[in-house]
A and B are shown apart, each in its own frame.
Chain A
Amino acid sequence: MLRSRIRLAAAVAAVALVLAGCGGDDEPSGGSSAAPGELKVFAAASLTAAFTELGQRFTAANGGTKVTFNFAGSQALATQIQQAAPADVFASADTANMGKVKDLVGTPQPFASNLLAIVVEKGNPKGVRTLGDLAWSDLKVVLAAEEVPAGKYANQVLDQAGVRVQPVSQEDNVKAVVTKVSLGEADAGLVYVTDVAAGGDKVEGVDIPEDQNVLATYPIATVKASQAPDQAQAFMDLVLSDEGQQVLERHGFLPPPTT
């Protein structure tokens, strides 16, 4: 009897230890300048290729600090940050979703802009030439959902042009739109110019004239609850630096609008 009580107590102690160990993550890690740490960057899906390259450069230049990315629709990232997900930096594809978390982040800085393009299969088998063609009834068009910045911009572009499109699907992020086209399931989609470039050799873009297009502004900010505020700021500085801007430009992004 006594023996079993002792064993019970030992088990309780062991469980308590394990729980305490798990809790360790939440405690401040005593300054970010110590060992090479880890930086968590929440970035819009359209930034996947450009930010992955910037992350590698950051790691190389900062003594091996690992950069972990969470690429998703900006609306999903904003919600995750609202629910206290452990983010250090947030880069959104629009100012609206940055605005949703404005109390949780530092001062946002615009760092890039982007235009929309029509994405079609390689060779453009359906012969899509203009925004108006997207209304063809035999064309399967995929858009990003209205909640996603790319979907919101797509609706703006279509409304401006007076084109009514019945999409067959509203995808959760802009990369999923490109995927549906590259798989051949959809004939066309509205995505960023940069997504066409990143979409590989199965897709190509149809330009949208400047007077019909919208300019998407990408803001970046550090997250106030960050455990590594110095490194978060350093990453943001890299994105805004000449080096960072060159990387973004190479991936097809435009400079941020000058205010």
Chain B
Amino acid sequence: MNKDEYKKLVNRLTPKEKKSKNAIIAFLVGGLIGVLAEIIIVIIMECFATSRVEACQWSCLIIIFIACLFTALGFFDNWVTKAKAGIILPTTGFAHSIMSAALDYKRDGFITGIGANVFKLAGSVILYGIVSAFFFAVLGVIIYG
């Protein structure tokens, strides 16, 4: 094997290793957030004798609050760059995108800054979520009655 072939081999292999590392980190972090949500649900169901649906909403709120708080304190951005999809895909990513947009545009004032930009990143999730859910619901009503 000469040097050129060796270089090609290195170029081909290096990103793949990084990708597999990213994937494993995303898997572990995402899984841990799922377990955390389940733990919160179980604790709330045990302690306050609520229904499972209500406990899910509480766990959702608590996770959102933790994500917003950590973003406001400044160290959540580092976590997001390290764990990537592991934090972006759970509800923490939704909270982080809104919180960081609000913080970034705070100095532009309340209306033109926070008000205009708070949904800058999370807006696509809300828009396509509502549109797709609406049309799937119409389809569901037609098919299932």
The answer on A and B forming one complex is: no
A residues with a Cβ closer than 8 A to B are none
